[in-house]
Structure 1
């Protein structure tokens, strides 16, 4: 199961399931090979193992996907897994009204599957992993998994007004779609995706029974339990390829779990699709390029064997490897990705470290030497260095400071509200550092030397800044000015002039503009309102210099 909101997702695999899937009592040799698939072992307990995997491999979010890859690596099963899609008479009708809301849907049936509680949990984990990766937190793709046996086809994908009511998953009383967005936790979390539209997307069967309100919540009617044997999969999206990618990963996993894949015919107003499409993807790469990048001397048939162990079919002809890639491997997008699959199949542990052929000696870039010298000066003045992320929240960069977000550089679809904007100054990050250390001893004196980002003339410009902050019961402008003079003289050999200035970050009358040679910046005492916004209790003074030109060789 995926654990919380860690940087990389984690899947928990129970040893008894692993023994059953691998048909062996001794699973230790298999566990030892996990790191050579690019997986990290987080924890080994008595009954389970926790494995961290890269988000670009959502097929690793269940034990079925990991076992599939392990069998290839160990030569138990080689080449592209074969999945047969059987035709069915299921039809999904797409109403024209969804075009401006969430225009695409792909579907499939999974018949004859046997589900236990752990399999259901793993399927839900995969569903959420796909939501967060391919689905961009459901904005791009969302998935519904339903008990098909309670439905009466055809399935209709249409829209309804916000007042339309049905019983959502986990409830016993009907709620309107508007109430679902406003009152339920999942509606409050994802409601922004559809709230701007006058009508909301909905899936119903021919009797008007509600399957799903995508991308928010399923209906209680189609709840999946261990007694469910036939599943209906719906994937709605704003991008058709992303929907097809997610469907391929999901149905192949369910096939590995014992289900039979059956197609659905999706009727759009001007198009008919038969989904899922599990046709293998084709790609080619020169063997010479493979050997050059890996430092190996593989023959054509050896490279083909390596790809087979990575569960990829390949042929070698005329110096070229022609590969057929299983549809669930949506992470393979470039010939270099094939090179990586070759070395995984070859065995990362078989690679021999070698020294570079060149005898030249590297040295620091002149700019880095200047930055190191500045750091030494700051440390000598009793400042502690911090290193923050370049991304920061809107509140910290603008709202708390009383600044307007003009020419702001915002991340599209950020993963977290704490990492929305590229910062154009360092002081907000230093204030955050102080706010997370209010219970530590004072005085607290920090500095940061890092790049800032600015939008100028339609381009993004990067500039090095130096930020300094001091916080204690007697921190004031005079102390900050003393630090400024010491830093500029010792690190740059300059004397800077200060001129009274106004800035929303600093107290009026205790703020100045800094100029000296190629240096320019701002200095002052932080306003009480700003300190309160960051929950700071001590007087604080800060300065920030643009040193970009001063460090040029």
Structure 2
């Protein structure tokens, strides 16, 4: 899960009360925010919070303070934010790579070093979570006094325009930024042929999304009026991100002003902070939680969660603040009631029915396989089922389309955003991490993989697999073949071997395993390019078999 470091003094200022360390460590976990540690740095006390990915509004001190004030009853109910008219207009040309943009102006924000640090941290955390490391959403925050409306969002050629990017003193073209600038090199993969640019009335560059802002609009402690742009590939994500930012700035005392975004076929005014409305029933909430709360108690819990609710015709109409992007189903209201009712008040009960537990047959087979592999001299490792495209596909020389795997919507880390379809790449990554250890190394893993299957309701299907890898200077095809055949023999599986062409293996040194005319696995010598991609220095052989 993402973590944020918050200055204790800043949190106390926003909550408007003194907070002891013990009080923080007791209360915040009860509202669903884990306290990782309390530490001091340069004489200043900090609290590190671990934030659930479904609560991006908690990724700032402002959001945490807002939620905490409701949780402990200082300020309950829906917090209303006034949004004033302005003459800001943003004209959008045909931007194919990142077609959506939202704008807003927040005036009179008193920015000191602490507030500036908080703004930058929120921006980066939203980039990683909602933005998927800027792929889906990118944020620009600017000194509004340095530019003049109207603004223009368009795509340009790489050499069409020049400006000085942040953290640079050199004027560059967009193409040069991708080649020379630290941020440009890091995020160059997000831009292809055309370069998105945001300009003001006078042709000044505010931003080159999703790479870098221009130095002209750099925010400092002298800045008072902030212009926010959010661009991306998903309209809802763009709008939600803007709402989270402007409400956080309003909690710092800022005043929110509208901006009109003008497309070729429509006009949209941002930000839209009107509450969303969903319905539930007291019966559903009580049945879900096993409680017997009356309507007033349920509404009180929802108000502590910074919502409002009214009871009409047997239903609860719940008003959800615009920054709460996690409320998708009425079960989310039940969770909100549980949090604010207090998890410590729930009493455990034994189930009425009696059951006799038994180990699943597949798990019994997995336990047997473990014994066989250990007997063959392998060590078992356990990796996460989440990884990323580089390890699973790029390093393995696999050309895989996005529709062939499942990606996490709001990953806690960019390194763990794809549900693995194979175990072998993670074994190679394990070998890379342990390459300083003596050779030979023989490791295996038994675990779940997930593949796309349209026949399932979830469009995905779990598969149990066994994979193994061996590394040492003389590792070869015959060695891994002997291990695989020993395993298949112990499992009493009838099989046939056929030549197999696989991008991750050396051509002519890979075989597939056939059982009842179905391919259940493969093995062979790993391709030299794959070995180098994982920074390994010796031959590697490996196998992967589906456990039926």
The TM-score by the shorter chain falls in which range?
0.7 to 0.9
- 1:3-47, Cα deviation, whole Å (9 max, x unpaired): xxxxx2211122222232233334343442100121111111241
Correspondence for 2:37 among 37, 43, 47: 43
Change (3 A) 1:424 1:23: closer
Correspondence for 1:75 among 53, 73, 89: 73
Bigger drift between 266-275 and 289-298 goes to 266-275
Within 1, Cα distance between the matches of 2:320 and 2:499?
A: 65
Deviation at 1:477? 5.4
Counterpart residue number, 1:306: 301
Deviation at 1:70? 0.8
Counterpart residue number, 2:124: 128
Change (3 A) 1:309 1:527: closer
Deviation at 1:341? 0.9
Within 2, Cα distance between the matches of 1:526 and 1:105?
A: 45
Deviation at 1:424? 5.7
Within 1, Cα distance between the matches of 2:129 and 2:369?
A: 41
Structure-to-structure mapping, 1:434-473, within 5 angstroms = 434-452=431-449, 463-472=463-472
Change (3 A) 1:543 1:126: closer
Within 1, Cα distance between the matches of 2:99 and 2:290?
A: 47
- Paired residue secondary structure (1:164): coil
Deviation at 1:440? 1.9
Deviation at 1:82? 1.5
Bigger drift between 500-509 and 70-79 goes to 500-509
Deviation at 1:319? 3.2
Deviation at 1:400? 6.1
Counterpart residue number, 1:12: 5
Bigger drift between 20-29 and 9-18 goes to 20-29
Larger radius of gyration: 1
Within 1, Cα distance between the matches of 2:37 and 2:189?
A: 37
Counterpart residue number, 2:367: 372
- 1:90-143, Cα deviation, whole Å (9 max, x unpaired): 221314x33434333322221222111111111111112222232333333322
Structure-to-structure mapping, 1:316-395, within 5 angstroms = 316-390=311-385
- Unmatched 5+ residue regions in structure 2? none
Aligned pairs, how many?
536
State whether residues 15 and 49 of structure 1, in contact with CA within 8 Å, keep that contact through their aligned partners in structure 2. yes
- Paired residue secondary structure (1:98): coil
- Paired residue secondary structure (1:25): coil
Bigger drift between 523-532 and 239-248 goes to 523-532
Bigger drift between 321-330 and 188-197 goes to 188-197
Within 2, Cα distance between the matches of 1:144 and 1:373?
A: 55
Bigger drift between 46-55 and 391-400 goes to 391-400
- Unmatched 5+ residue regions in structure 1? 1-7, 549-553
Deviation at 1:215? 2.5
Within 2, Cα distance between the matches of 1:167 and 1:509?
A: 53
RMSD over aligned CA atoms reads 3.4
Deviation at 1:302? 0.5
Counterpart residue number, 2:163: 166
Counterpart residue number, 1:488: 488
Change (3 A) 1:152 1:437: closer
Within 1, Cα distance between the matches of 2:451 and 2:358?
A: 30
Structure-to-structure mapping, 1:399-414, within 5 angstroms = 409-410=404-405
- Paired residue secondary structure (2:198): strand
- Paired residue secondary structure (2:435): coil
- Paired residue secondary structure (1:79): coil
Change (3 A) 1:143 1:527: closer
Counterpart residue number, 1:148: 144
Within 2, Cα distance between the matches of 1:531 and 1:278?
A: 52
- Paired residue secondary structure (1:166): coil
State whether residues 88 and 258 of structure 2, in contact with CA within 8 Å, keep that contact through their aligned partners in structure 1. no
Within 1, Cα distance between the matches of 2:200 and 2:507?
A: 66
Change (3 A) 1:42 1:164: same
Correspondence for 2:224 among 211, 218, 229: 229
Counterpart residue number, 2:135: 139
Within 2, Cα distance between the matches of 1:405 and 1:265?
A: 40
1:157 aligns to 2:153 (yes or no): yes
Change (3 A) 1:481 1:35: same
Change (3 A) 1:375 1:219: same
Within 1, Cα distance between the matches of 2:155 and 2:526?
A: 52
State whether residues 92 and 157 of structure 1, in contact with CA within 8 Å, keep that contact through their aligned partners in structure 2. no
State whether residues 386 and 446 of structure 1, in contact with CA within 8 Å, keep that contact through their aligned partners in structure 2. yes
Within 2, Cα distance between the matches of 1:65 and 1:421?
A: 28
Deviation at 1:296? 0.8
Counterpart residue number, 2:547: 547
Within 1, Cα distance between the matches of 2:419 and 2:331?
A: 30
Bigger drift between 43-52 and 458-467 goes to 458-467
Change (3 A) 1:98 1:135: farther
Within 2, Cα distance between the matches of 1:143 and 1:85?
A: 20
Counterpart residue number, 2:261: 266
Within 2, Cα distance between the matches of 1:353 and 1:420?
A: 35
State whether residues 451 and 463 of structure 1, in contact with CA within 8 Å, keep that contact through their aligned partners in structure 2. yes
State whether residues 406 and 452 of structure 2, in contact with CA within 8 Å, keep that contact through their aligned partners in structure 1. no
Bigger drift between 256-265 and 531-540 goes to 531-540
Within 2, Cα distance between the matches of 1:64 and 1:310?
A: 15
State whether residues 519 and 545 of structure 1, in contact with CA within 8 Å, keep that contact through their aligned partners in structure 2. no
Change (3 A) 1:202 1:392: closer
Counterpart residue number, 1:253: 248
Deviation at 1:262? 1.7
Bigger drift between 282-291 and 311-320 goes to 311-320
